């Protein structure tokens, strides 16, 4: 797979001639910029840019990357992703942590807020009872991407579903980096590409975004609308796992609704259910 070429092609198709300062004359057969226009604006030869898109040159200089990034209007997340696609040496796939450290599971079990541990590609590794009360999709063994794109109940839970899907797909690109032949990554993206037109549409754009904390709106079938803050915390000794915690503003109606969910008789946290 020529990941570098696919990324460059997708991103140049999103830049209009007007955005690039080019006079748009005549009929254009392709969306966005032509290859030769990108090359001209970046100050490189059209032949060299063509070699980059076709994967025949994978070692452009820092200056060339910076010039292309400027022409394609790439932000910091996209530039960082671009750099992962042009490594000088073959990448060594790092082993993925499959099991959280015991200390992380004890912490998860002790939290009084909805919390779960997720893998690199949004697989749910473990969760506490309040997380599962918030969404059955947060049970261990689930996958947030699959549920968000394929499960109508999960979609109904998120009134900002359109924005959430954009964010998740961009986060997935960032998480994978240049490791696009990772078996789990290939399995997940292949399944979603076949089953979800929305995923195919977003995947083709090659958006990249690092994950950040922020508010999440939910429309819960039992307690109604609530807004929770979402935080992601690294787990020592398990680089590919993250602890995700949802918490309400203190004293808010959201806190009252979350307390109502917590009052139900639900199972405790573990990584098997």
Report how far residue 161's alpha carbon sits from residue 164's, in angstroms, rounded to the nearest whole number.
Answer: 5
- Determine the longest span between alpha carbons in the chain, in angstroms: 67
Report how far residue 159's alpha carbon sits from residue 175's, in angstroms, rounded to the nearest whole number.
Answer: 25
Asked if 174 and 209 count as a contact pair (C-beta separation under 8 A), the reply is yes
pLDDT digits (tens, 9 = 90+) for 30-72: 788 999 999 999 999 999 999 999 888 878 888 999 999 999 9
pLDDT of 150: 96
Report how far residue 171's alpha carbon sits from residue 207's, in angstroms, rounded to the nearest whole number.
Answer: 8
Report how far residue 259's alpha carbon sits from residue 201's, in angstroms, rounded to the nearest whole number.
Answer: 38
| Cβ neighbours around 73 below 10 Å, total | 13
Q: Within the chain, which residue ranges are assigned CATH 1.10.260.40?
A: 3-84
DSSP 267: P
Best CA proximity match to 11, nearest among 52, 47, 44, 46: 52
pLDDT of 162: 95
DSSP 270: B
Asked if 70 and 9 count as a contact pair (C-beta separation under 8 A), the reply is no
Q: Span 102-262: which CATH code?
A: 3.30.450.180
The helix/strand/coil state of 106 is: helix
Report how far residue 4's alpha carbon sits from residue 115's, in angstroms, rounded to the nearest whole number.
Answer: 36
Global pTM value? 0.82
Q: Which residues of the chain have pLDDT under 70?
A: 1, 26, 87-98, 265-273
Buried b (16+ CB within 10 A) or exposed e, 167-189: bbbbbbbbbbbbbbebeebeebb
pLDDT of 88: 53
Query: Which CATH topology does 3-84 take?
Result: 434 Repressor (Amino-terminal Domain) (1.10.260)
Sign of CA dihedral 194, 239, 2, 16: positive
**Residues 53, 56, 60, CA angle at the centre, nearest 5°?**
75
How many Cα atoms occupy the beta-carbon half-sphere of 127 within 13 Å? Answer: 26
pLDDT of 97: 58
pLDDT of 87: 64
pLDDT digits (tens, 9 = 90+) for 121-140: 999 999 999 999 999 999 99
| Cβ neighbours around 270 below 10 Å, total | 14
Q: Helices 35-42 and 3-12, interaxial angle, to 10°?
A: 90
Report how far residue 6's alpha carbon sits from residue 13's, in angstroms, rounded to the nearest whole number.
Answer: 11
Give the strand pairing for 115-118 and 238-247.
antiparallel
Report how far residue 65's alpha carbon sits from residue 72's, in angstroms, rounded to the nearest whole number.
Answer: 10
């Amino acid at each position: 797979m020529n990941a570098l070429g696919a990324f460059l092609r997708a991103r140049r198709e999103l830049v209009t001639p007007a955005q690039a300062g080019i006079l748009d004359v005549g009929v254009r057969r392709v969306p966005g910029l032509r290859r030769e226009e990108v090359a001209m604006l970046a100050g490189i030869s059209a032949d060299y840019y063509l070699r980059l898109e076709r994967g025949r040159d994978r070692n452009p200089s820092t200056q060339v990357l910076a010039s292309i990034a400027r022409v394609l209007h790439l932000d910091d997340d996209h530039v960082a992703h671009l750099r992962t696609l042009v490594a000088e040496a073959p990448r060594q796939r790092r082993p993925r942590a499959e099991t959280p450290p015991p200390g992380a599971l004890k912490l998860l079990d002790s939290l009084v807020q909805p919390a779960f541990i997720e893998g690199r590609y949004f697989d749910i590794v473990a969760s506490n009872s309040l997380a599962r009360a918030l969404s059955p999709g947060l049970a261990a063994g689930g996958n947030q991407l699959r549920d968000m794109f394929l499960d109508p109940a999960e979609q109904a839970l998120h009134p900002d579903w359109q924005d959430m899907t954009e964010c998740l797909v961009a986060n997935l690109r960032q998480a994978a980096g240049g490791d696009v032949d990772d078996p789990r990554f290939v399995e997940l993206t292949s399944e979603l590409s076949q089953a979800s037109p929305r995923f195919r549409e977003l995947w083709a754009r090659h958006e990249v975004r690092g994950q950040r904390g922020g508010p999440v709106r939910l429309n819960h079938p039992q307690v109604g609308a609530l807004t929770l803050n979402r935080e992601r915390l690294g787990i020592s000794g398990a680089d590919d796992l993250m602890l995700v915690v949802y918490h309400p503003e203190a004293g808010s109606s959201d806190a009252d609704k979350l307390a109502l969910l917590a009052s139900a008789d639900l199972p405790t946290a573990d990584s098997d259910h």
